[in-house]
Amino acid sequence: MTGAEHLLSRRHHVGAALTPLDPEKRRPLTRVAIVACMDARLGIETMFGLRAGDAHVIRNAGGCITSDTLRSLRLSQIRGGTREIVLVHHEDCAALSDPDADLRECLDLLRTSNELPHTDVVRGFIYTRGGALREIRPDRRAE
Ligand SMILES: [Zn+2]
């Protein structure tokens, strides 16, 4: 059985109905976009108690701010109505050698971005090996 077949089998056994795509709920209720590493150990929905429709979640290797992440965040803000950004990097990351330093760079990049209409509320967190969230304050030297 392939991994995809395993997932589809689990889907069949769970049996829960999928949430219909309500056009009225296209805009996330919290008005937050979360950018996080794709690491499978990070349960972003569980971490923040998210339900369908609560937030945009953008994931890639490291949770880095790339041109594609900026494109997604721009769409999230312009068409999805989000106004805040939360970044989640983590310890023991295969994509980042220094998650704290990378997160600081990402926070500065977002806060000074000309591509995003809304950069007033940008917060960054490190998910620790022990399973806690540690907030990283933006680097004020960049101002
Ligand atoms: Zn990672």
Quick one: pLDDT band at residue 23, thresholds 50, 70, 90? confident
Q: Is residue 71 part of a domain?
A: yes
- Single out the residue of 84, 88, 30, 81 nearest to residue 59, CA to CA: 88
Q: Is residue 19 part of a domain?
A: no
Distance 22 CA to ligand 1 centre (A): 32
CB contact burial 81-115 (16+ within 10 A = b; e otherwise): ebbbbbbbbbeebebbeebeebbbebbbbbbebee
Distance 24 CA to ligand 1 centre (A): 33
Distance 64 CA to ligand 1 centre (A): 9
Domain extent for 46: 27-142
- When divided into structural domains, the chain yields a total of 1
pLDDT digits over 25-71, tens only? Answer: 889 999 999 999 999 999 999 999 999 899 999 999 999 999 999 99
Distance 60 CA to ligand 1 centre (A): 8
Q: Is residue 99 part of a domain?
A: yes
Q: Is residue 132 part of a domain?
A: yes
Q: Is residue 126 part of a domain?
A: yes
Token readout for 54 is 């609560």
